[in-house]
Amino acid sequence: MNHRISGDNMNPVENIFADMPDSRKDELIEAILEAPGLRIERIVSHGQSSPDGFWYDQEDNEWVIVLRGNAGLRFEGREDVLALKPGDHIRIDRRRRHRVEWTDPDQETVWLAVHYK
């Protein structure tokens, strides 16, 4: 991520919207903070979705917020798709199977995902 300004050499100020990927082919998943029992990721999608038949089944809990763009999230056992817009967030309990049905094909969808024990 690009450094905009820095308070000191150890803790630079960074921008969540900096260094967006040029490629619309691949989704970007980037860890921006890791500590024992905690991982925070920036995810940038542009029309991507989970592969057919694929379900996330994670060991850790997750809290996710959409900062920009739009996405559709489905949970196993439910027919409906949750449409997420900027500012929408949801907690996903560990082992709760879910998938990304769609992300906006016309703009980047920027997520912030917090994985925790």
pLDDT of the residue at 3: 46
DSSP state of 62: E
Instruction: Judge contact between 31 and 40, C-beta under 8 A.
Output: yes
Q: What are the distances in angstroms from CA 19 to CA 28, 34, 48, 63? A: 11, 20, 19, 23
pLDDT of the residue at 34: 97
CATH T-level topology, domain 26-116: Jelly Rolls (2.60.120)
Task: Quick: pLDDT tens for 52-101.
Answer: 999 999 999 999 999 999 999 999 999 999 999 999 999 999 999 999 99
pLDDT of the residue at 13: 92
The pLDDT of 93-111, averaged and rounded, is 97
pTM: 0.87
Nearest to 95 by CA among 72, 71, 70, 77: 77
Residue type, 30: E
